[in-house]
Structure 1
Amino acid sequence: MGHHADPPAVHPAVHPAVHLAGGPELAAALPHLLGFPPVESLVLLALTGSDERRVGMTLRVDLPGPDDAPLLATEVVSRLAPSRPAAVAAFVVTEAPDVPVADLAALVEHRLDDLGPVELRLLRAGADLPGRDVLHAVTRVLAGAGVPLLGAWLVRAQRCWDYDCPDPCCDPAAGCPLPGGTSELAAAAVLTGRVLVTDRSELVGRLAAPADLPPGMVGACAEVGAHQAETLRREGWDELLARSWHCVQDAVARHRPGSRAALTDVEAARVAWAVTATEVRDRALGLGAGADAPAAEALWTGLLRRLPPPLDATPAVLLAATAYARGDGVTAALALDRAQASRPSCTLAQLLRQSLSSGLPPAVVADLLTRAAAAGSEQLGA
C-alpha cells in the first residue's frame, strides 16, 4: 500500500496527571504524544480505564486514499488490539480542501432516506470535511471488534472540527482554534525528557548514522580500544569493568540539565567501549528507568551522532530501551533500526523489537530495565 505506519507510542502515567478536556485539547496534544507534529496522518488514541479517559497507545499512519482506507483501517485497528482499548479517539490531520457536495452526494446517494442531521446539514452547506471516508472505514472495523469510536476530529490549519457535530461551529468554513501557549502536557513532556522535533524527518535525521564522522573520532575509537585491551592485560577484567562503569556515570552526570558539557572524542569513545561489556551495558539499562533517564537519553543520542559502527550499536540499543520505557515507540524503533543496521546479530535489539511490535507496556519494560541493572550491579560487585 505504501503507507508508512509508526510503531505505537504507549504512554505511562504522568504525575501529576494531565487533564485534556476534549477534541481541540487532544488535537493540540498530538505532537507531544507522538514526539513530532503529524502531517497528512491518521492518528488513533486508545483510551483505557472504566471512564475511557486515560490515553494508552497512540498510533500514527500516513493518511490513505479512499481505495486504501478499508485495508489500512483493518491493519491499524489490529495493531491497537494488544492495548485492549475501552474506546478509540480518531484524528485526521490534513490540509486537504473540503469535499464538494457532488462528491458527498455520490457517497451517500444509496441511503438518502437514512441521512442524519450532520449529513443533511453538510449537503445543505454544499461541502463536507475531508477524511470522512477514512473514518467510515475505521468505524466499521472498530465496530466489528466491539470497540466504540468515542470521537473523530479533523485537524487542519491549527483548527479542529468534530465530524459528528451538527452545529455551525463545525461547518467546513469554521472549526475551533487549537489552544495556544504551553500546555500541561508540554511541560510534563519536558520533565520526562521527551524532545519535540519539527517533523518526523528531523527525528529520523537525529538518529541516522552520520554521513561524515567528526575529525579524529575514528582515531579516538582505535586509541581507546587499544588502551582497553592493555588495561585488561595488566589489571584484569574486574578493574576494567569498574573503570568502565565510572566512565558511564561521569558522562551521564555531565548530561544532566544545567551541567551539560560536551565530551571530547576520546571521552565519547571511552563510553562507547565501556558499554560493550555486557555487565556495564546491563547496569546502564537501569538508567533509562530512573531519575537520570533524561540525561542518559541525551548521552546516547549524542553518541549516535559521532560513533562509527559497530560501536554505535550498544548506545543505540540503550537509547531504544530508554525511549521505550517512557512510551516513545517512534524513537525506540528508529534507534533499533540503527542498532540492527550496525550489528544485525544484537540479541537485545531483537528482543526490544519483538516487545515493541507486540505492544508490551512501558511499565513492564521499565521493570525489566531495573532488573537488568540489578543484575549488572551484582556482576560489577557494586
Structure 2
Amino acid sequence: MSFPDTKLTVRSPADLVAAVPYLLGFRPDDGSVVVIASRDRRIVFAARTDLPAPDAPASHLLDLTANLVPVVWQQQPITDLMLVGYGNAEHVDPALRTIGEAFTTSGMTARELLRVTGTRIFNLICDNLACCPAQGIPFDPVASLVAVQATAAGAVALPNRAAVAARFAPVQGAARDSMRDATREAVTRLKAVNAAGSNTVDEAGAQAVRDALRQHDSGKRLTDDEVAWLTLLLKRLSVRDLAVDLTQPHDQHVTFWADVTRHAEEPLVPAPATLLAVTAWRCGDGVLAVMAAERALQVDPAYGLAGLLLQALHAGLPPSLFEQAITADRTDPSAQ
C-alpha cells in the first residue's frame, strides 16, 4: 500500500520504520518481516509476512524467501529495496540476513536491513557506531514527523492485524438475531420474485444494488431488512458482477461492503466479503483485500472470484490487472 496523493519525507531508518504502519494499515507484531520497494524515491510496494518460529526447520525460511522474491520481482522496475524485521535479535537477525541474501542472489540488493525491538531500531548493515550505535537508535512511532504527516493526511494505522479483521467481523447478540429474522423474511420475499422469472430477479437485484449504494453515498445506513435483501440477491452472480461494476474505489465503499459483510448471515458472506476484497484491492489496501477474500473462502472454499483475487494478491499483481481477472471469472462457467 502507498500514499498516492501524499508525500511523506523519509530521511532516516527511523522515518522508514515510522512509516511502515501507515503503509500496511496496521502495526506489525513481533515475528513479522516487512518488505518495502521504491521506484525513483517513491514507495510502490509494501508487504508483511510472518517469520517462521525460532525453532522451525531451516527449510521453512527458505520456502518463505522462495515465495517472497518472485512477488517483489512483479513490482519491477524498482530502485530500492528495504527489509524491516520485528522482534528479538536471535529470531529476527538471521532471518533478515537470509532473506536479504536471497534478494541479492536474484539481482535485487536490500539497501536497508533493519530490526525493530521495542522502541529501538538496529541497522544490520551499517557498522558505523556514530550513526548506528550497538544499543540501537531510539524512536517514537507516534511523535515522529512521518506519523504526524500521515495522520494529517488521513492515513490510519490500526494497532495490529486483528484490528483489521475486526472491521468486518460478524455482528453478534441482538444485532445478529435481528439480521436472522430479516433474512428469513427476505427468503420468503425472494420466493415470490422467483415465481415471476429470472429476469425479475435480475431486475430486483440491480435495483437493490443501486439503491443501497445510493443510500450509503447520501449518508444513510441500510436497515436490516435492506441488508438482508441485498445479501440474498448478491448470491446471483449477475447481481454480484453488477455490484463489482458499480462500486467505486474509495474508502466510503470499502466501509459500506465491510458493514454489509458484518451483518450478512454466514451462508451469504462470500459475495459481500469478495466485494469488500475487490474494493480494498482497488484502493491499494492489500492487507484488507487478502483478509476479506480469505473470509469469503472460509465460508465457501469454492467461491471462484474470491479465489482468483487471492491468487492475484499473493502473487503481488497490481490492481491494474483487475479487469482481466474479472473477465476470466465471468467467462469461466465453473466460477462462482
TM-score (normalised: structure 2): 0.81
Whole-Å separation in 2 of the counterparts to 1:369 and 1:16: 29
Structure 1 residue 57: Cα displacement: 4.1
Aligned residues: 321
Q: What residue identity is the alignment partner of 2:54?
A: G
One-letter code of the match for 2:72? S
- Counterpart in the other structure of 1:151: 112
Q: Which residue of 2 aligns with 1:207?
A: 168
Q: Does structure 1 retain, via aligned residues, the 8 Å contact 2:18–2:147?
A: no
Q: Distance in 2 between matches of 1:185 and 1:363?
A: 25
Matching residue within 280, 299, 306 for 1:323 = 280
Which residue in 2 is equivalent to 1:175? 137
CA contact (8 A) 1:248 1:271 kept: yes
RMSD: 3.3
Q: Is the 8 A contact 2:69 2:103 kept in 1?
A: no
Counterpart in 1 of 2:183?
Answer: 221
Residue 314 of structure 2 is matched in structure 1 by 357
Deviations 1:201-220 (A, max 9, x none): 22234434456562221121
Give the drift of 1:238.
Answer: 3.8
User: Deviation of residue 302 (structure 1)?
Assistant: 1.1
> C-alpha distance in 1, partners of 2:279/2:163?
19
SS at match of 1:89: strand
Q: Give the equivalent residue in structure 2 for 1:76.
A: 65
Q: Which amino acid aligns with 1:283?
A: L
The Cα of 1:38 is off from its aligned counterpart by 0.5
**AA in 2 matched with 1:341:** Q
Checking the alignment, whether the CA contact within 8 Å between 2:18 and 2:146 is kept in structure 1 is: no
Identity rate, percent: 24
Alpha-carbon deviations, 1:77-126, whole Å to 9, x = none? Answer: 532313315442011222x4x78xxxxxxxxxxxxxxxxxxxxxxxxxxx
1:24-39 to structure 2, matched below 5 A, reads 24-39=14-29
- Structure 1 portions without partners, runs of 5+: 1-10, 100-129, 376-382
Counterpart check, 1:264 vs 2:223: yes
Q: In the alignment, is the contact (CA less than 8 A) between 1:204 and 1:334 conserved in 2?
A: yes
SS at match of 2:263: coil
Quote the Cα distance in structure 1 between the aligned partners of 2:3 and 2:237.
30
Task: Determine the C-alpha separation between the residues in 2 that align with 1:67 and 1:336.
Answer: 28
1:17 is displaced (CA, Å) by 4.8
CA shift at 1:27, angstroms? 0.8
Query: Does residue 59 of structure 1 match 2:48?
Result: yes
Contact preservation (8 Å) 1:244, 1:274: yes
| 1:138 paired residue among 99, 109, 113 | 99
Which is bigger in relative contact order (C-alpha 8 A, separation at least 6)? Answer: 1
Tell me: CA distance 1:273–1:302, structure 2 relative to 1, closer, same or farther (3 Å): same
| Structure 1 residues 255 and 30, CA gap change in structure 2 (3 angstroms) | farther
After TM superposition, the score normalised by the length of structure 1 is 0.72
| Counterpart selection for 2:241 from 259, 272, 282 | 282
Task: Judge conservation of contact 1:286–1:370 (CA < 8 Å) in 2.
Answer: no
Gaps of 5+ in 2: 332-336
Alignment of 1:109-128 (within 5 A): none
AA in 2 matched with 1:91: V
Q: Structure 1 residues 53, 45: closer, same or farther in 2, change over 3 A? A: farther
**AA at the equivalent of 1:24:** A
Structure number with greater Rg is 1
User: Aligned partner of 2:302: which letter?
Assistant: S
Q: Is the alpha carbon distance of 1:39 and 1:53 closer, same or farther for their aligned partners in structure 2, counting shifts above 3 Å?
A: same
